Structure 1
Amino acid sequence: MERVNGPLLEFTGVTLRFGGVTALDDVSFEVEPGELFAIIGPNGAGKTSIFNCLNGVYRPQRGTITLDGTSLLGRAPAAIAGLGVARTFQNLGLFAHLTLIENLMLGRHHLMHTGFFSGMFWWGRAKREEIAHRAAVEEIVELLELEPYRRMPAGLLPYGVAKRAELGRALAMEPRLLLLDEPVAGMNLEETEDTARYLLEVRRELGLAMILVEHDMSLVMDLADRVLALDFGVVIATGKPSEVQDDPHVIEAYLGGAA
């Protein structure tokens, strides 16, 4: 799909309410093609609500959300995935009894067009499709250095490897925009450094635009091109990492004014 001129994603004037609670209040930002854009904020700031609006899980009361000029509002999550938006989750969503390769193949589901009978008997188009999709998955396995775990059930994978497999399944969807929901949550320092390296490699090899939600500020400041800071659903700062890190409103939101 050809990219239009301008930002890849435009999230403009979005307000999301649940009864009398405002989760997002007139939130706006843009993501450029190939950019790594980070969203930070204390717990309850509205970070996950932004992702759920992008995924079609929530529908805001006001505002617009467009990807390459195509509105995402009112579309089902599966339709939005088909437009090129993929997401990883803080809590692993892998199928424990399927192998790593089988979990990655599930990320290709929306790209498969085989009918029931040809798929059941694995002939003709079904056979050609599976061979092509398995080849694409093997490229992701190589990119993320998952070769030793290819045939291992996901439920037996070490935690850091399972998080990498979650990333691999999202990449298998061939997205144009990748939503990373706390990709290093629960990791030790070595696993965090490995994940940062893989994210940089994915960006270099695939040129994906990414939105990163993460509490690890050192990771955010090292990787992000720009950062948006939220507090109680309101944007309090947007800019380069160093600018946002030194913003007094951000310091107050995180430290309660102690700085």
Structure 2
Amino acid sequence: MESAPILELADVRLSFAGVTAIDGVSFGVRPNELFAVIGPNGAGKTSIFNVISGVYRPQEGRVTFDGTDLLGRRPHEIASLGVARTFQNVELFANLTVLDNLMLGRHQQLRYGALAGMAWLGRARKAELAARLAVEDIIDFLELEQWRRHTVGLLPYGVQKRVELGRALAQEPKLLLLDEPVAGMNLEETEDMARYILDIREELGIPMILVEHDMGLVMDLADRVLVVDFGVPIALGAPTDIRTDPEVIRAYLGEAS
């Protein structure tokens, strides 16, 4: 018996000034599943992420996460429910250290006021120490020890992408949205990131949605794949089925192929 999906999108439609970005997308993500969304440039993949995370509100459809309706909720509210994401372009605080960037990912777990924080006593001190321990675990998990005190903006691009993944993990998410996690990486960096993604699923048990152009990575890692083209879902299934689907081949290679 299959587990109930932790995230469900039902017939979601989103348009901007008459231009359709998402057209009838429906899917569910199961607990501990690595679900991938692929498609040509401009297919609507990142728009799907923006709908899930509350950046966009669709005109039609339903989005539920862990039994909660997400439509109408603001991004910080959705994040507090347990949805974390990384971004296609690195969105870190370049002038802060790796440690500081990861600590910023813990802010939703810090339940005390400004005065308590300034006094550094009682609940504030206990919460800060717990946050630091959690971040230290992430540093070990992602093998960031040698860069912990380095300014993020001076680090190699692949390490910055790893730090951004760590910041998302610092939120203790129930669902992780990965927007092109290996974009711009060399082969070695890509292989490292693939290993961390597998470790997240196998050791932390966090379900993930992966948007990625690297088809080798998607086919190797994903349990199921959704293919969208101009916002329209054209295929959904196991990687082995998607690889040979005529509609998928047409979307990527054109009619002649």
**Residue 173 (structure 2) aligns with:** 175
Give the match for residue 156 of structure 2.
158
Which residue of 1 is the match for residue 248 of structure 2? 250
How far off its partner does 1:183 sit?
A: 0.2
Q: Tell me the percent identity.
A: 67
Structure 1 counterpart SS, 2:100: helix
Tell whether the 8 Å contact from 1:37 to 1:224 is kept in structure 2 after alignment. yes
CA contact (8 A) 1:143 1:202 kept: no
Contact 1:226 1:238 in 2 (8 A): yes
User: What's the counterpart of residue 190 of structure 1?
Assistant: 188
Q: Please name the residue that 1:138 is paired with.
A: 136
Query: Displacement, 1:202?
Result: 1.3
1:110 matched to 2:111? The reply is no
Aligned residues: 255
The aligned runs of 1:70-109 (5 Å cut-off) are: 70-109=68-107
Distance 1:8 1:217 in 2: 25
In 1: Cα distance, 2:29 partner to 2:148 partner: 34
Aligned to 2:29: 31
CA distance in 2 between counterparts of 1:81 and 1:35 reads 19
> 1: distance between equivalents of 2:135 and 2:162?
14
1:233 is aligned, of 231, 235, 238, to: 231
Give the aligned CA root-mean-square deviation in angstroms. 0.8
> What is the CA-CA distance between 1:19 and the residue it aligns to?
1.6
Amino acid at match of 2:216: S
Q: Is contact 1:54–1:72 with CA below 8 Å preserved after alignment?
A: yes
Residue 229 of structure 1 deviates from its aligned partner by: 0.2
Equivalent residue for 1:69, pick from 67, 70, 78: 67
Task: Report the Cα offset of residue 118 of structure 1.
Answer: 1.4
Secondary structure in structure 1 of the residue aligned to 2:137: helix
The corresponding residue for 1:20 is 18
Question: C-alpha distance in 2, partners of 1:29/1:122?
Answer: 46
Provide, for residues 154-187 of structure 1, a one-character-per-residue CA deviation record: whole Å limited to 9, x for no partner: 1111111110000000000000110000000000
**One-letter amino acid of the counterpart of residue 107, structure 1:** G
Post-superposition Cα deviations, 1:4-23, rounded to whole Å, max 9, x if no partner, equal x6111110010001121111
1:60 maps to which residue?
A: 58
Structure 1 unmatched runs, 5+: none
1-structure distance, mates of 2:63, 2:182:
27
TM-score (norm 2): 0.98
Deviation of 1:136 (Å): 0.4
Task: Note the C-alpha offset of 1:258.
Answer: 3.3
3-state SS in 1 of match to 2:149 = coil
Equivalent of 1:43 in 22, 41, 44? 41
Distance of 2:15 and 2:94 partners within structure 1: 35
Amino acid at match of 1:235: P
Q: For the Cα contact (< 8 Å) 1:86–1:178, is it kept in 2?
A: yes
Report the secondary structure of 1:235's partner residue: strand
Q: In structure 1, the residue corresponding to 2:160 is in which secondary structure?
A: helix
Amino acid at match of 1:199: I
Query: Aligned pair in 2 of structure 1 residues 29, 93: CA closer, same or farther (>3 Å)?
Result: same
After superposition, give the CA deviation of every residue in 1:228-259 in whole Å (9 maximum; x if it has no partner).
Answer: 00000000000000101110100010001232
Q: Where in structure 2 are there 5+ consecutive unaligned residues?
A: none
